[in-house]
Structure 1
Amino acid sequence: MALALPPLNFKPHCSSSSSSSSSSTNYRPAVILPGLGNNTGDYKKLELTLQEYGVPTVVAKVSRIDWLRNAAGLVDPNYWKGTLQPRPVLDWYLKRVDDAVQEAKELAQGGTLSLIGHSAGGWLARVYMEEFGLSHISLLLTLGTPHLPPPKGLQGVIDQTRGLLNYVEKHCKKAVYTPELKYVCIAGRYLQGARLVSDSELDADSVVSIDPAQPISDVAVVKNKTDSTSVSTIFRARFVGQGYKQP
Structure 2
Amino acid sequence: MSILKFVPSLLVPSFSLLMLPTVILPGYLEGAIAYRELEQSLQQQGLPTVTVPLRRRDWLVTLGGKPVTPILQQLDRTVKQALEQYNASRINLIGHSAGGWISRIYLGDKPYSSLAQVDLTTPWQAHQYVATLITLGTPHTSLERWTRWSLDFVNHNYPGAFYPHVRYVCVAGKTIFGQRRRGSWLAYSSYQLTCGQGNCWGDGITPIVAAHLDGAENLIIEGVNHSPRSPGLWYGSPSILPFWVTYLA
| TM-score where L is the length of structure 1 | 0.60
Q: Partner of 2:168: helix, strand, or coil?
A: strand
Q: 141-150 or 57-66, which moves further after superposition?
A: 141-150
For 2:166 and 2:187, locate their aligned partners in 1 and report how far apart those are by CA, in whole Å.
37
Cα 1:159/1:53, change in 2 over 3 Å: same
Partner of 1:119: 97
AA matched with 1:107: Q
Q: Which has the higher contact order (CA 8 A, sep 6+)?
A: 2
Q: Partner of 1:109: helix, strand, or coil?
A: coil
For 2:100 and 2:155, locate their aligned partners in 1 and report how far apart those are by CA, in whole Å.
13
Residue 180 (structure 2) pairs with residue 242 (structure 1): no
- Map Cα deviations across residues 52-83 of structure 1 (whole Å, 9 max, x no partner): 11111111111011111113xx5xxxx5xxxx
- The partner residue of 1:46 within 38, 41, 46 is 38
Q: Partner of 1:117: helix, strand, or coil?
A: strand
Partner of 1:232: 183
Residue 46 (structure 2) pairs with residue 68 (structure 1): no
Percent same amino acid among aligned pairs? 34
The alpha-carbon deviation at position 112 of structure 1 amounts to: 1.7
For 2:163 and 2:136, locate their aligned partners in 1 and report how far apart those are by CA, in whole Å.
16
For 2:188 and 2:104, locate their aligned partners in 1 and report how far apart those are by CA, in whole Å.
32
Partner of 1:169: 155
Q: Partner of 2:183: helix, strand, or coil?
A: helix
2:94–2:133 CA contact under 8 A, matched in 1:
yes
For 1:237 and 1:125, locate their aligned partners in 2 and report how far apart those are by CA, in whole Å.
25
AA matched with 1:29: P
Residue 29 (structure 2) pairs with residue 37 (structure 1): yes
Partner of 1:186: 171
- Map Cα deviations across residues 173-204 of structure 1 (whole Å, 9 max, x no partner): 532583x210111011365354xxxxxxxxxx
Partner of 1:201: none
The alpha-carbon deviation at position 231 of structure 1 amounts to: 3.5
| TM-score where L is the length of structure 2 | 0.59
2:94–2:100 CA contact under 8 A, matched in 1:
yes
Question: Structure 1 stretches of 5 or more lacking a match?
Answer: 1-23, 151-157, 195-229
Cα 1:191/1:56, change in 2 over 3 Å: same
For 1:33 and 1:192, locate their aligned partners in 2 and report how far apart those are by CA, in whole Å.
27
Cα 1:25/1:121, change in 2 over 3 Å: same
Partner of 1:145: 138
Between Structure 1 and Structure 2, how many residues are aligned? 166
1:50–1:56 CA contact under 8 A, matched in 2:
yes
- Map Cα deviations across residues 122-168 of structure 1 (whole Å, 9 max, x no partner): 01001011132221211001100122344xxxxxxx44414211111
Cα 1:191/1:135, change in 2 over 3 Å: same
Greater C-alpha Rg: 1
Q: Partner of 1:97: helix, strand, or coil?
A: helix
- The partner residue of 2:50 within 35, 52, 58 is 58
Q: Partner of 1:51: helix, strand, or coil?
A: helix
Partner of 1:101: 79
1:175–1:183 CA contact under 8 A, matched in 2:
yes
